[in-house]
Structure 1
Amino acid sequence: MASTTTHETETVDRLRPSWRPVASTTGDPSYAGVLQRDARAAEDARKMVEMVLAVWHLDKLLGDDLKLVASELVSNAARHARGSVVRIAVTRTARYRVRVAITDKSRDVPQLQVGDPLAETGRGLRLVDALSTNWGVVPYPWGKQVWAEVTAPC
């Protein structure tokens, strides 16, 4: 019997990203899901946003900006949070405005950094700030939610 390598085991044990339509607290259309908190989380978030925007026929208007915002928020959570998963919600808050929210188990509030232009990291939240119409943090006793809204130019 062949032995399984560690890499193969990690691939098998990785949760497949899942998302589904949910009832949001505001009554707006929303999709939510759970992503594994690992190096592929940003890719999974981009795929989810791409699928949701296609369902809402907003992929041409908001696609690139919202995918980048989701990717940056999930990357931050994957790098800095605790636990093995993060929650993602994509909510249509207006006709041409979509909110992406990432909930994790870290109470550390992200801060805008003065980025070193030569550094490979540290500019993600600056990108979120530049591409979104609004963003913020909702603290919880056990963690936080970081959200950003992107509005299509009309």
Structure 2
Amino acid sequence: MKSEISTHEFSMRFTSTPRGARLARRLVSHRLHEWGHPYDGPANQTVTLIAAELVSNAVRHGHVPGRDFRLRLTADPDALRLEVSDTRTERLPELRAPCGESGRGLMLVEALADKWGVTPRQPGKTVWAEVRPSPATGR
């Protein structure tokens, strides 16, 4: 018996504003729910939280006037992958000790994602994270 492999993809550009970031986060959660990862499930909550951090960083640190950021979400049986691309080249994200009330976002991504990284592109960069949902827990 041949098993069916289900792969999903969602990609969209968003304005580089807090409103665009909020919409991106909500659409990530909605798509995951449509793809079988319920709103209140660990996979949806984990990837949505990672999305909130990455799109917030794109708006706060990757913003170039007149340029949007792009979000791409893919799901296959092995992993949920989130990619956030912006056009700012000179500011690459890095893990560092938090400073005051900020600087914890990438530490959170590091703790929640199974893998994450930064891929340069022209112009800008793509910050990506992968989560492998567990069949037993949904995360």
TM over 0.5: yes
**Aligned counterpart in structure 2 of residue 85 of structure 1, from 45, 68, 74:** 68
Is the counterpart of residue 40 in structure 1 residue 22 in structure 2?
no
Specify the structure having the higher radius of gyration (Cα).
1
Alpha-carbon contact 2:14-2:21 (below 8 Å) kept: no
4+ runs of 1 displaced by more than 2 Å?
none
SS of the residue aligned with 1:40? Answer: helix
Structure (1 or 2) with the greater strand fraction: 1
- Stretches of structure 2 lacking an aligned partner (at least 5 in a row): 1-6
Give the whole-Å Cα distance in 1 for the aligned partners of 2:35 and 2:48: 15
Alpha-carbon contact 1:38-1:78 (below 8 Å) kept: yes
**Aligned counterpart in structure 1 of residue 97 of structure 2, from 114, 120, 127:** 114
Question: Whose RCO is larger (CA < 8 A, sep 6+)?
Answer: 2
Query: Percent of aligned pairs with the same residue?
Result: 35
Deviation at 1:141, TM superposition (A): 2.7
Aligned-residue Cα RMSD (Å) equals: 1.7
Give the whole-Å Cα distance in 2 for the aligned partners of 1:91 and 1:43: 19
SS of the residue aligned with 2:30? Answer: helix
**Aligned counterpart in structure 2 of residue 98 of structure 1, from 77, 80, 86:** 80
Q: Which residue of 1 aligns with 2:47?
A: 66
Q: TM-score, normalized by length of structure 1? A: 0.75
AA aligned opposite 1:63: N
Q: TM-score, normalized by length of structure 2? A: 0.82
* Number of residue pairs aligned between Structure 1 and Structure 2: 125
- Stretches of structure 1 lacking an aligned partner (at least 5 in a row): 1-27
AA aligned opposite 1:103: S
AA aligned opposite 1:76: N
